[in-house]
Amino acid sequence: DIYTDAGGSGFVAAGSLTAQAYTSGVYQRAIQFTWGLANGSASFYNIRFGTPMGYCKASFTPEIPKTSSKILMLEITVTWARKTLP
């Protein structure tokens, strides 16, 4: 369910996110998430994140191991298109 919090054996919110520059007409945008040393110390298998178009959810198999001695940087590219009616 997109409206529930993401989880795993432990859920940690990203310490920061940076939306990369958008090029007009490309219909995709990369977003870089960073979990610093202070952001979590548990593995997780999914995240929920906001974009200018709304919320998205991503899942990972196996879980991503995150400890307080590791920095995690993850870049996700979101794409969209206009629906064409028949």
> Per-residue pLDDT tens for 1-30?
555 555 554 455 677 888 888 889 998 989
Residues 6+ apart with CB under 8 A from 25: none
Segment 49-55 shows an average pLDDT of 71
Asked if the model's pLDDT at residue 37 lies above 50, the reply is yes
CA–CA separation, 36 vs 28, rounded Å?
26
Residues 6+ apart with CB under 8 A from 53: 78, 80
Segment 32-54 shows an average pLDDT of 78
Query: What is the phi/psi pair of residue 65, to 5°?
Result: -75, 125
What pLDDT, on the 0 to 100 scale, is given for residue 69?
A: 92
**Reported pTM:** 0.68
